[in-house]
Amino acid sequence: MDQPYEKNISGCGLIGFLNRDGRRVSGGEIIPAIALMHDRTNGLGGGFAGYGIYPEYKELYAFHLMYEHGSVAAQEQTEDFLKQRFRIEEQEEIPTQRTPGITNAPRLRRYFLQPKIAPSDLNGRSEQDWVIEQIMHINVQIKDAFVFSSGKNMGAFKAVGYAEDVARFFRLEEYEGHCWTAHGRFPTNSQAWWGGAHPFTLLDYSVVHNGEISSYGINRRYLEMFGYQCTLHTDTEVMVYLLDLLVRRHGLSIEVACDALASPFWSDIERAPENRRELLKALRMVYGSALVNGPFAILFAHSRGLVGFNDRIKLRPMIAAERGKTLYVASEESAIREIAPSLDRVWMPEAGEPVVGWLEDEVS
């Protein structure tokens, strides 16, 4: 007798590592770890983010663009828009190679950009806010054009396919970085397309995610009040925008931002020590619409470090480990040991407890 179909919502694999001393290693080093979690995924999305990969252009914004359906018109319109607002120091096709399992690739290009804007023209905004406005304009207003990476000295590489095939397609071993994250996707409630693969990025922030964000609707409406627009048709997109809002724009520490996004239940807050209880109450009242509900584990990378955290009742797995000056966070310990067999420390973070790693102060 045939077994009834049951939707699997526990899939997706993620892993990331940070060399705190700034040591740069090939992107090829993370491939065996994500490949080990092949069975957590179904070939409908894979991707990577690397930090420190463009040292020769480290002061410039590195925009990675995908033009759906190979649209020449979208490319021309986007490049006209960029030339009006940025000085394009360099542009080229993103290097790729023919890879079995990777099909229907969009046109892929990257641009290294310097904003054409005087401080007096910002009208109280930061340069980063101005850059985000340009990203949102492209993603919303230019048909078939999507900025899928936009930070300095970092880049995201993603596609529809198994993660190890995506790595081969983008020739990941040719890049070197001090921090790498990887994701293998098992989509549940959103379509599989190149823009919907992970990581999701904004400026130098990137997020890979295992789980489901059931609060997507209220989170999205809340973000729209601050000018963010969700265009990539998957729930994870809100997570990177929420982190940008809370950490970069509102100035919260990463730990406090995680308390807001994965806030404890009210009953747990009432049992917390008094000083912490008052903080958690304030966060729930101020950032109630930023609270992320649903099962999730995420890796959040940025120019100075790596963060892992999961939902307030730990419905998705997450393991952390250290070896020397390297921090690892992954869905499975076996994935970490595939690339670091000997570890100094391995632990399972508590629900809602962030694992935070920073580059050492002397690393530029």
H or E stretch covering 133: helix 127-141
From CA 246, how far away is CA 252, in angstroms rounded? 6
CB-based contact 166:103 (threshold 8 Å): no
Angle (deg, nearest 10), helices 72-85 and 127-141:
160
* DSSP code string of 94-118: PP----TT--SPPEEEEEEEEE---
Q: Please, what's the b/e burial string for 169-195 (b: 16 or more CB within 10 A of its CB; e: otherwise)?
A: bbbbeebbbbbbbbbbbbbeebebbbb
Residue corresponding to tokens 């379509």: 191
Residue 12 falls in the annotated catalytic set: yes
Cα–Cα nearest to 188, from 359, 12, 18: 12
Using alpha carbons only, give the angle 290, 296, 302 rounded to the nearest 5 degrees.
70
Q: Cis peptide before 199, with omega less than 30 degrees from 0? A: yes
- Indicate the SS3 state at residue 145: strand
Cα–Cα nearest to 175, from 156, 194, 198: 156
The catalytic residue among 12, 179, 230, 258 is 12
Catalytic residues: 12
